[in-house]
Amino acid sequence: MKSVLKTVAVASCLVFSMTALASKPTSITFVSDGKAPDGQDYASYVVKCSDGKEEPLTAWDQRKNWCVGKDSKDNCDKKQIRAAKMACKDTSGD
């Protein structure tokens, strides 16, 4: 019974440490406004992640749609913070 409890304790510590080490956004900074070739306006931002990396975000539709990447319309979310979390998460595997 003690070995089962030790195994469960070690496994839960491991899971906790893995989530604690995941990269998270620490700041989101406006960079510039732009216009896509199709005439659609967008805004560029930079997300700073807890692992030290910086990733671009692009806001479309008057900042109603946030996408990971520079001038990108892929990997999007309606919430800025969720898109920033996706941007930092995408870089954590590098």
Angstrom distance (rounded) from CA 80 to CA 36: 20
Query: What residue ranges do the domains of the chain occupy?
Result: 24-91
Please tell me the predicted confidence (pLDDT) of residue 22. Answer: 78
**Residue-wise over 66-88: b if at least 16 C-beta within 10 A, else e?**
bbbbeeeeeebbeebeebbbbbb
Say what the alpha-carbon torsion angle 87, 26, 35, 72 is, to the nearest 10 degrees: 0
Query: Which residue in 38, 82, 31 sits closest to 58, CA to CA?
Result: 31
pLDDT, tens digit, 9 for 90 and up, residues 37-89: 999 999 999 999 999 999 999 999 999 999 999 988 889 999 999 999 999 99
Query: Which residue in 25, 73, 23 sits closest to 46, CA to CA?
Result: 25
Please tell me the predicted confidence (pLDDT) of residue 72. Answer: 85
Please tell me the predicted confidence (pLDDT) of residue 48. Answer: 97
pLDDT confidence of 91, banded at 50, 70, 90?
A: low
pLDDT, tens digit, 9 for 90 and up, residues 9-41: 566 555 444 445 679 999 999 999 999 999 999
5 has a pLDDT exceeding 70: no
39: which strand partners? none
Element (H, E) at 76: strand 76-77
Please tell me the predicted confidence (pLDDT) of residue 13. Answer: 53
